[in-house]
């Protein structure tokens, strides 16, 4: 499964990176089917948020390292190099730009509903996606 990560660069800018999250851990369910899942982690917090129609947040940092899952609407994120990516229902971003200029966020089709899943301290995106 592909997830778009945006992160701070050493120069204080922000960039996108495509992460491949392996869904390859087998688990049998009660009916005998084998489900495939990703590696798990404990989250310090999960919250649901409604972003209003027309929201246009200028440059800001993510408040925490988190996965942002779009549940409804369309959310667009822009990095400092001018690249823009949109996520629709069922798509996710990894917000990982706690320093530098940050990113901008717009609601393209809204209101948008999102779920924020905070990543634990020391979470290694590269190891999780390997």
Place of tokens 């940092």: 61
Tell whether the model's pLDDT for residue 124 goes beyond 90.
Answer: no
Where residue 130 falls among pLDDT bands split at 50, 70, 90? Answer: low
Where residue 39 falls among pLDDT bands split at 50, 70, 90? Answer: confident
Regarding pTM above 0.85, the answer is yes
Say if residue 125 is exposed, middle or buried (CB neighbours under 10 Å; 0-12, 13-18, 19+): middle
Say if residue 11 is exposed, middle or buried (CB neighbours under 10 Å; 0-12, 13-18, 19+): exposed
Q: 113 - beta bridge partners?
A: 50, 72
CB-based contact 80:13 (threshold 8 Å): yes
Question: pLDDT averaged over the chain?
Answer: 93
CA distances from 42 to 39, 59, 73 (A): 11, 29, 27
d(CA 124, CA 17): 14
**Residues 8-27: pLDDT tens digits?**
999 999 999 999 999 999 99
Tell whether the model's pLDDT for residue 129 goes beyond 80.
Answer: no
What are the two backbone dihedrals, phi and then psi, of residue 57, each rounded to the nearest 5 degrees? -90, 120
The pLDDT score that the predictor gives to residue 56 is: 96
Domains and CATH numbers, the chain: 2-129 (2.60.120.10)
According to DSSP, residue 129 is labeled H
More confident residue, 124 or 114: 114
Where residue 54 falls among pLDDT bands split at 50, 70, 90? Answer: very high
**Residues 61-108: pLDDT tens digits?**
999 999 999 999 999 999 999 999 999 999 999 999 999 999 999 999
Q: Is 12 left (phi over 0), alpha (psi -120 to 50) or beta?
A: left
């Amino acid at each position: 499964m592909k997830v778009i990560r945006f992160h701070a660069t050493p120069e204080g800018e922000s960039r996108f990176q495509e992460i491949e999250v392996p869904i390859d851990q087998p688990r049998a369910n009660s009916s005998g089917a084998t489900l495939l899942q990703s590696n798990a982690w404990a989250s310090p917090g999960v919250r649901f948020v409604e972003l209003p129609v027309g929201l246009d947040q200028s440059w800001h940092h993510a408040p925490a390292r988190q996965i942002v899952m779009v549940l409804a609407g369309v959310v667009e994120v822009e990095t400092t190099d001018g690249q823009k990516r949109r996520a629709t229902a069922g798509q996710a971003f990894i917000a990982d730009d706690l320093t530098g200029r940050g990113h901008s966020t717009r609601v393209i089709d809204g209101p948008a509903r999102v779920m924020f899943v905070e990543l634990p301290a020391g979470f290694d995106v590269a190891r999780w996606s390997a």
